[in-house]
Amino acid sequence: MCEMLAISSPVAVPIADILEWSCLLDELGVAGFGWGLVWTDGETLHHYRSVDGIRKDSIASRALRGVTWTRGFVHLRRPSLMSTIGHVNAQPYVSQDRDWAFAHNGFLKQHRDFRAQYQDDLRGTSDSEVGFQYWLRRLSENPSLTGSLIETHQALGGNANFMALHRRGDLAVYAGNEENPVYTFEMNGIRIASTSLHSHDNFLFEAVFPGASRIEHLPPGTAHLMP
């Protein structure tokens, strides 16, 4: 399930704009059971996560006051397995060295086949965290960011949209959840990628991003580097 939003901008985007878009995605999409976001200042990854849905989160407005970013993404959670609700399963995930952040929308069908080998590095119980650990290992072997995301979905199967961000600004989106297509587009010079509210029509652009231009659908099985 879940909804996701990535933003790449030549100028800093205020957190108020990001939260406004995210609240609409949460309200109109399939989410509401936790949320998080990650951004970079070009040197360091910063992130915030909550087990409350974004519209119920009473701390976020204070914790994120004054934040702006040029590159980052948001994850709005609705777990495939409701028993995985909890802070340890909140996304985005951040690597131990704080170089990379990762999030997933969908369900990785083969996650149990890999869980045992990553057990020492897992904090939670979700399929997405197994995907995160698998992806980190693929990335260490294959320096192609887009290629490693594609390989991760091919290995773990199921439905998968991914977003990944490096502390220095590399930002990629992978589309592989046909139940929730991914679109890239532009608004006022800002490049955006968003899941589509699990809706196979233009409602995303009617209700959340009415000013969008240069809209492109990411074909399933493809990864896109945000400019």
Q: Packing angle between helix 145-156 and helix 127-141, nearest 10 degrees?
A: 130
CATH number of residue 144's parent domain: 3.60.20.10
Nearest 10 degrees: Cα torsion 198, 201, 205, 208: -30
Q: For 38-49, what is the mean pLDDT?
A: 97
- pLDDT tier at 83, thresholds 50, 70, 90: low
Considering the chain, what is the average pLDDT of its residues? 93
Domain limits for position 92: 3-225
**Distance separating alpha carbons of residues 139 and 150, to the nearest angstrom:** 11
* Range with top average pLDDT, 52-61, 75-84, 152-161: 152-161
* Strand ranges of the sheet holding 190-195, from the earlier edge strand across to the other edge: 45-50, 35-40, 68-76, 3-14, 190-195, 182-187, 213-217
Checking if the pLDDT of 82 tops 90, the result is: no
| The total number of structural domains that make up the chain | 1
Can you tell me the mean pLDDT for 85-108?
A: 90
Q: Which pLDDT score, from 0 to 100, does residue 109 have?
A: 93
Looking at per-residue pLDDT, the higher value among 85 and 119 belongs to 119
Rounded distance between C-alpha atoms, residue 19 and residue 167, angstroms: 21
- Mean pLDDT on 190-200: 97
Alpha carbon distance, N-terminus to C-terminus of the chain: 26
Tens digit of pLDDT for each residue in 117-161? 888 878 877 899 999 999 999 999 877 999 999 999 999 999 999
pLDDT at 96: 94
Q: What is the pLDDT of residue 121?
A: 79
User: What is the structure's pLDDT at 84?
Assistant: 60
Residue 162 has pLDDT above 80, yes or no: yes
* Whether pLDDT at 183 is above 80: yes
> What is the average per-residue pLDDT within 15-20?
96
What is d(CA 220, CA 227) in angstroms, rounded to the nearest whole number? 20
